[in-house]
A = this chain, B = another copy of it.
Amino acid sequence: MSDIAEGRMSFSLSYGDCDMVGIAYFDIYYRWMERTYTGWLYSHGLRSGQIREDLGVLIAGVSSGCDYHAPATVFDELTCQAGLARMSTSSYRIEFGFTRDDQPITTGQMTFACRTPEWAKAPVPDRLAELLGTLPVRQVSV
């Protein structure tokens, strides 16, 4: 089910992902979101750590968040699907749907803003905007 070029990654929860109560620790979703998002960009030739060099703008993370719908536990197989939740001229929000057997577990989001090196608002670069447009459109709940 993993197809990183489509913004999708599957993984199994390990002991290191889970806390004493036996469920996935609340912050592990953020790390998988980053892995999915930057892996997806990379699969299309963009390195999120080099956007300034490659596309001439800074892209700053302005917010992140998760809604937890159901707990997950060690060895559960989760799929994380990135979607485009919002795009304006200078910012965009990616939603991440984590599911287990197609049941929603967690919905996350990361929001980014484009800035000039002088920190003024900058438009989302065309190449990036076009790529973002290929993601499924999602309604984010966070």
B64 and A66 form a contact (CB under 8 A)? yes
A14 and B26 form a contact (CB under 8 A)? no
> Which residue of chain B has its CB nearest to the CB of A14?
B35
4 additional A-B residue pairs with CB within 8 Å, beyond A19-B20, A62-B68 = A15-B19, A15-B38, A18-B20, A27-B34
- Enumerate chain B residues within 8 angstroms of A20, measured Cβ to Cβ: 15, 18-20, 22, 49, 74
Assembled-state Cα–Cα distance A21/B74 (Å)? 12
- Enumerate chain B residues within 8 angstroms of A64, measured Cβ to Cβ: 26-27, 65-66, 68
A65 and B62 form a contact (CB under 8 A)? no
Instruction: Determine if A60 is an interface residue (Cβ-Cβ < 8 Å).
Output: yes
Instruction: Determine if A61 is an interface residue (Cβ-Cβ < 8 Å).
Output: yes
Q: A60's contact among B14, B16, B68, by CB below 8 Å, is which? A: B68
- Enumerate chain B residues within 8 angstroms of A62, measured Cβ to Cβ: 67-68
* Shortest beta-carbon distance from A93 to chain B in Å: 12
Instruction: Determine if A142 is an interface residue (Cβ-Cβ < 8 Å).
Output: yes
Pick from A15, A31, A67 the residue with the most CB of B within 10 Å. Answer: A15
Instruction: Determine if A89 is an interface residue (Cβ-Cβ < 8 Å).
Output: no
> Which residue of chain B has its CB nearest to the CB of A36?
B14
Instruction: Determine if A83 is an interface residue (Cβ-Cβ < 8 Å).
Output: no
3 smallest CB-CB distances across A and B, nearest first, come from A65-B65, A27-B30, A14-B35
